[in-house]
Amino acid sequence: VLVNKFIYRFQLPERFEVIVFEPPLETGHHEDFIKRVIGLPGETVEVKDGKVYIDGEVLIEDYIQEEPNYSFGPVVVPANSLFVMGDNRNRSFDSHLWSGWLSLDKVKGKAFYTYWPLDRMGVMK
């Protein structure tokens, strides 16, 4: 994966962007994570009935592998934080399993291009 490490010096991450970040200490992991931005500061995130809701509205997600088979929230994303989730919702170690928040200062960059495996090479969606 190619990562733009400069973009977030000029703008904040946006919903649906795939980001690379240093995982929160409580995860016990030390290698970078890659997840999709779902909730932004001040928004309410909830997972129920196989759907993700942002401020009570269903999030349209054509990129996930399968609908989540769990419930979570509702929770409000704090200032200077993000709520991130993996596209493989039911097998992803993401915000719904740790404290829920990714501090903006842990974001390293935006993933924008996949070059391996070769049959999946291209711009990330």
Would the pLDDT of 114 be above 90? Answer: no
What span, in angstroms and rounded, lies between the C-alpha atoms of 89 and 20?
A: 17
Would the pLDDT of 43 be above 90? Answer: yes
Tell me the per-residue pLDDT of 81-90, one tens digit each, with 9 for 90 and over.
Answer: 999 999 999 9
109 by DSSP, 3-state: which? strand
Radius of gyration, CA atoms only, the chain: 14
Closest CA to 36 of 13, 69, 60: 13
* Strand 33-39 to 44-48 pairing: unpaired
Write down the mean pLDDT value for the chain: 92
Model confidence, pTM: 0.90
Tell me the per-residue pLDDT of 7-31, one tens digit each, with 9 for 90 and over.
Answer: 999 999 999 999 999 998 888 888 9
- pLDDT value at residue 120: 78
Alpha-carbon distance values, 62 to 67, 88, 117, 125 (Å): 10, 12, 21, 10
